[in-house]
Each structure stands twice: as structure tokens, then as C-alpha cells.
Amino acid sequence: MSEHPPIPPVEITEQAVQNAVDAALAAIATASDTATIRAARAAHTAEGSPLSRMNAAIRDLPAERKAAAGKLVGQARARANQALADQEAVLAEVEARAQLDAETVDVTAVPPRRALGARHPLSLLMERMQDVLVGMGWEVGEGPELDHEWFVFDALNTDPDHPARSEQDTLYVAPTERHLALRSHTSTVQIRSLLERGAPLYLVGPGKVFRRDEIDATHVPVFHQLEGIAIDRGLTMAHLRGTLEHLARAMLGAEAQIRLRPNFFPFTEPSAEMDVWHPRAKGGARWIEWGGCGMVDPSVLRSCGVDPDEYQGFAFGMGIERTLQFRGDLNDMRDMIEGDLRFSRQFGMVV
């Protein structure tokens, strides 16, 4: 037995053709999208549909009926096909328009405003100071923030009982047998760069440093320094002075000057405290303490495998927060670490 009911033979009468056309036109007229028009085509004009079967049945009619039936069915099929084509065109148009509407971009719409981030004034200043030295042919070097005590102190000729090594000043990281400290100055970069690159060397090392300082208007326990080291044949304090003066003028203007006062650092000999003449300081031009410097101690060169009879050089280091403070006439260093955008905006939102 067949699964499908037998398809009844079609009869080609005017009424039957009319019924088939009416059904086809009704289905086509109410088709409202691609899927329903496809269904109408399948049911009313495609192979197997009444009109198609009538067309096929013409073949079996007696000869005298063929012409009339052919005309009747032919006209009916033509009407149905035309209606189908017209409706398809209409639907295609409607669907294309709907798609265009859905994909419309309103070029006048206001996009959600997302403020871009910007560099912190300290980063900008540190970069600017580096740029001045890079402009003289210096390289930039780095070192880790957590370093072995040997790099922070021993290689820098700092005795085991030097007060800077005490836990009151320096932050050590447990366990103590590992001798790891958060570097208290960027002078570690002198050692690392000499060991890595050897002499001659002209290198600037910017970075974060850590000290056990209470926070107040002129101290923060995590701050930034810029260390410079130059090692070559025949370098003298005159080169040190000239370099610092150039840096000072690039930062504070052509009238800026450098003054060196004798001081002591374990890693330089002679050592000096450097002051800078700030021509536009708030309340009038004046000398401001800027940092430390000196001629690199021969023992430091020896620790790094450099022969002090062949090479000499100088080093200097200064605080970036301090530089930003006097350069920007800022009363309180704490403003630099609070993350208040109103502070940063004064320096321009440079990305």
C-alpha cells in the first residue's frame, strides 16, 4: 500500500480551472514574505500543483478538446505566474527596504563619550628629563624595583653598618636570608648597567624607589628618581657640572644654574649636593636643593669589573616628585599620589 493517498485525476473544466486560479491568486496575494510566497508557488504553480497537473493532463485529452483546454489552462497558468512574479517583486522591495532600515547608521548620533586616559605629570616629567639626556646621546637603562642588597648597597661601597641599610630606612622583604630590598635609590642602575654594558657608558636610569618615610607635604614613601652615570676616559667634575647645567636649563629655562656643595655618598668621591637656581620660583628666584652627585668611586668601578685607572666618570641622582614640586610651584607632594584628575589636568592631559 502506498503511504500517500492516491492523487485523484484532474478534470479540466472551466470551473476547475477557475477554482485553481482563484486559489493561486488568493494565496499569492496574501503571501507576506519570502517563505509564504515560496509555499504559494509550491502549492499553486509548481509541479504537482492543480494547474501544473491540468497542463500535463491535456496530453491525454481527445484531440478535439486539446486546443480549448490548452488555451484555458495556459491563460490560467500565465495569470498565476504573473501574479507570483509581481508579488515576489513587491516582497523583495519590502524586504530590501526593511534591511536597509535595520542597517541604517545615524551619522549625526552623538556617540557615548569615553574620556581617554592621560599620562601622569610625574611620568611626563621623568620622560622629559630622560629626553634631554637621550638628546646628548645617552642611553636609557632600567633595573628591578625589588633587588638584592648587593646591588642596592654593597656594590655601591656602602658598609654593612651604614645607617641607610637599617630597617628604619630601607624596606626589606622576608625571608631575610634572601637579602632582597625594595631599592631605596636608582643607583642600583649604575651597577647593573656597568656590569651589563661595560665602559664607556652614558646612561640614564629612571625609576621608582622606596623608603620608610612618613607621608607629608615633601615626602612620599614611594617616589621616583632619575639616575645618570657617565663613564669614559678623562671625565672630570667639569663634565658633571656641564651636564647638570644643561639638564637644569632644559627644565627651568636659560637662566637656571647649578651649584655644588661638598657632601658624602659612599659611591662617589668627591661627592656633592647639587642645588639648582630656579629663576622663576614662586616668591622669587632662589637656590633649591635638587639631588646628589659626584665622581664614581673607584671601588664601585672595581665591583663592576671596570679598571679605575683607565676609566673615570660621574653620577647624579634626583627626585622626580621634588622636581615636579618646585618646577610646578606645588605646595603638597601628596596631591601627586591621590589620583585626583583636577591635579593632573593642570599639566595638560597628554596621552
Binding residues for ligand PHE, rule: CB under 6 A, are 185, 187, 227, 265, 268, 291-294, 315-317
Nearer to ligand PHE, 266 or 328 (CB): 266
User: Which residues in the chain belong to E strands, given as ranges?
Assistant: 139-140, 146-148, 172-173, 180-182, 201-210, 222-232, 257-265, 268-278, 286-296, 312-319
Question: For residues 157 and 297, what is the distance between their CA atoms, to the nearest angstrom?
Answer: 8
Q: Which is nearer to ligand PHE, 141 or 292 (CB)?
A: 292
- Of the pair 44, 183, the CB lying nearest ligand PHE is at 183
Q: Is the dihedral of CA 296, 297, 302, 304 positive or negative?
A: negative
Q: CB of 268: closest distance to ligand PHE in angstroms?
A: 5
In whole angstroms, how close is the CB of 181 to ligand PHE at the nearest point? 14
Q: How far is the CB of 237 from ligand PHE (least distance, A)?
A: 12
Give the nearest distance from C-beta 184 to ligand PHE in angstroms.
7
Please state, as a whole number, how many other Cβ atoms lie within 10 Å of the Cβ of residue 265.
22
Number of Cβ within a 10 Å radius of residue 212 = 13
Least gap, CB of 240 to ligand PHE (angstroms): 9
For residue 272, the minimal CB distance to ligand PHE (Å) is: 8
By C-beta, is 187 or 243 nearer to ligand PHE?
Answer: 187
Residue 84 or 152: the one with the smaller Cβ distance to ligand PHE is 152
Residue pair 27/44 in contact (Cβ under 8 Å)? The answer is yes
> How many Å apart are CA 70 and CA 54, to the nearest integer?
9
Which lies closer to ligand PHE via its Cβ, residue 247 or residue 293?
293
Long-range pairs for 114-120: beta carbons < 8 A, 24 or more residues apart: 116/349, 116/351, 117/351, 118/344, 118/349, 118/350, 118/351, 119/350, 119/351, 120/336, 120/344
